[in-house]
Amino acid sequence: MTKQEWKNTMAVTEFILLGFGNGPELDCLLFLMFLLIYVVTITGNICIIVLMVANQHLHTPMYFFLGNLACLEICYSSNILPRMLLGYLGGDRRISVNGCFTKYYFFGCLAAAECYLLAAMSYYRYLVMCKPLHYLSHMNGKLCFQLGASSWISGFLSNSILTFLISSLDFCGPNEIEHFFCDSFPMIKLSCSDVHVAGLATSVVAGVCSLPPFLFTFSSYLYIIITVMRIPSATERKKALSTCSSLLIVVILFYWSIITVYVLPHHDTQISPNKVFLVFYTTLTPLVNPLVCSLRNKEVKEALRKQTCKLLAFRGLLPVK
C-alpha cells in the first residue's frame, strides 16, 4: 500500500519501537546489558555531582564543567534507556506519537547541549595549557556560568524548530520505527507527507550544532597537543597529555558518532549501521564520562575516599578521626 493510500485510510496514534530487530531469545540478554549500563551510568554521574557539590576543593572551573556534563549525561540516559528497558522487560514497545515527539525533543536538545558543552570544556583546557595568564585573568565563576548556561540554552533552542517540523508531518502508517528510540530520520521515513524540508532541516540543524563545536574543539586540542609536545621534560609532557586524554576519548566517541549519523548523506541502507553509532553516544558516552573523565582524576578519587570514610564513620563502621 502506498503512503497516499495509507493517508486516506488512517492516522497513526502510536509508534512501535522495533529496537535492534533481534529475536525474543536475545531480549533478556539485552535487557541485562542495558540495565547494567544504565545503573552504572546513573550511579557514577550522581556520585560525581555529589562529590563536586560537597567538596570545597572541587569548586573549580574544571569540575564545574564536569559536573554539568555529568548532569547532562543523567538526563540523556534517562530519556532513552528506561523506555528501552521496559520494552525488553514486558515486550510492550508501543509509545504514543506525542510521547515520541517529546522524547525526541529532549534527546535533540541534550545532544546539541553536549556539543556546545564539550566545546566550552575544550576552551577551558586550551586556556589552562596554552594561555595560563589568560586563564588566571579570564576564567572566573561568572564566565564559567555563562559558558555552561549558554550550552544548555543553545541546545534547547536549537531543536525546537526541528521538532515542530517533524511533529507537523502526517503519520498514516505503517507505525513501526526501525530504531530503539524516537529519532528524526526513522520517524521522517514513516511520514506520508512531503518530508524533503524536514529531512533537510534535520541535516542542517545537526550540522550547525555539531560541526562548528567540533572544529572549535578539534582546533583547541590541536593547539594543546602542539604546546605539550614543546615541553622539554618527558615526564611533564606525559603528565600534561594525561590531563586531557580522558576528555578527548569522550569527544572522539561523541562527535564521530553524531556526525556519521546526522551530518553525512543519509540513505536507507545506513539505518542498521547507524544503530551501532547511536549506541556509542546514547549509552556508552554517558557511561565513559564518570569512569574515564572524572573517577580517574586524583583529586576526585581523594574526595571520594574522604566522603566514604565520613559515611562509614557516621554509621559507626570506622573510628572518627
pLDDT in tens, 158-180: 888 889 999 888 888 788 888 88
Which pLDDT score is estimated for 318? 53
DSSP code at position 281:
I
Four-residue CA torsion sign, 8, 178, 79, 208 = negative
Lowest pLDDT segment from 27-31, 265-269, 286-290, 315-319:
265-269
Of the candidates 237, 221, 219, 218, the residue with the CA atom closest to the CA atom of residue 229: 237
Give the helix ranges, DSSP H, for 55-183: 61-90, 97-130, 132-138, 141-158, 160-167
Q: How many angstroms separate the CA atoms of 307 and 284, rounded?
A: 27
pLDDT exceeds cutoff 60 at 17: yes
196-218 tens-digit pLDDT: 888 888 888 888 888 899 899 98
Q: How many angstroms separate the CA atoms of 44 and 9, rounded?
A: 49
Residue 177, H or E segment: strand 176-177
| CA distances from residue 40 to 43, 293, 317 in whole angstroms, order as listed | 5, 15, 25
Pairing of strands 14-17, 176-177: parallel
Q: What is the pTM of this model?
A: 0.84
Walk me through the domains of the chain, giving residue ranges and CATH numbers: 3-314 (1.20.1070.10)
Which pLDDT score is estimated for 60? 83
Q: How many angstroms separate the CA atoms of 170 and 159, rounded?
A: 19
In one letter, which amino acid is 269? T
